[in-house]
Amino acid sequence: MERRRGDKESLRKLKSVVTDVDGVLTNAIKFYGNEGLALLGFNVRDGLGLHLLKMAGISLAFVTTTESPVIARRAADLGIHDVFQNVHDKGATLRAYRDHHSFSQEDILYVGDDLWDLEAFAEVGVRVAVADAALAVRNAADWITASRGGEGALREVADAILQACGVDPRGLLR
């Protein structure tokens, strides 16, 4: 992960990782059937990264403008309970999430890829853009992943956090 601003100390202090879904956990492609959104592809390495963060005591949440049982199913598979779908004011959602969990801004890292995510960036301490994020999002980010959305970007974030905290991910799997 390329550092633009901020330092590894900010990663060590984190209590929560919140991420967008489309374009971060997926490659931003949606497959529709006659009944609406039918399929999204999720990278299993991102899933393991989220699992490792959870095992390390980091709270996790999804915030997305999309509403789909596919997203709810992926969150359930990962044991993520804070899932906010059909969100069109990510800033307000992040404020409510922070208040509900008594987190400060500095406690939260947010991963995004597009203009909706700029509202969320304003409410967190660490802002991460995936490599193929919109230019405005990359310009606003503290860190930019080397990986594109849906291609291991979240795993890269997880690995950087665990490394900054001195946690060997292999020890979390035992």
Residue 5 has pLDDT above 70, yes or no: no
> Under 8 Å CB-to-CB from 51, ≥6 apart: which residues?
78, 79
Q: What is the pLDDT of residues 31-57, one digit of tens each?
A: 777 777 677 788 899 999 999 999 999
Give the mean pLDDT of the chain: 92
The answer to whether residues 14 and 58 touch, using CB atoms and an 8 Å cutoff, is: yes
Can you tell me which residue has the tokens 């990986």? 147
Residue 155 has pLDDT above 70, yes or no: yes
- Domain ranges (residues) in the chain: 2-167
Fold for 2-167, please state it.
Answer: Rossmann fold (3.40.50)
Q: Cα–Cα distance between 165 and 162 in angstroms, integer?
A: 5
Predicted TM-score (pTM) of this structure:
0.93
Q: What is the pLDDT of residues 100-133, one digit of tens each?
A: 999 999 999 999 999 999 999 999 999 999 999 9
Going by pLDDT thresholds of 50, 70 and 90, the confidence category of residue 3 is: low
Residue 79 has pLDDT above 80, yes or no: yes
Going by pLDDT thresholds of 50, 70 and 90, the confidence category of residue 6 is: low
What DSSP line would sit under the chain, residue for residue? Answer: -EESSS-HHHHHT--EEEE-STTTTS-S--EEETTEEEE----HHHHHHHHHHHHTT-EEEEE-S---HHHHHHHHHHT--EEE-S-S-HHHHHHHHHHHHT--GGGEEEEE-STTHHHHHTTSSEEEE-TTS-HHHHHH-SEE-SSPTTTTHHHHHHHHHHHHTT--HHHHT-
Query: Given this model, what pLDDT does residue 1 score?
Result: 64
Q: What are 16's strand-pairing partners?
A: 59, 108
Q: What is the mean pLDDT of residues 152-167?
A: 94
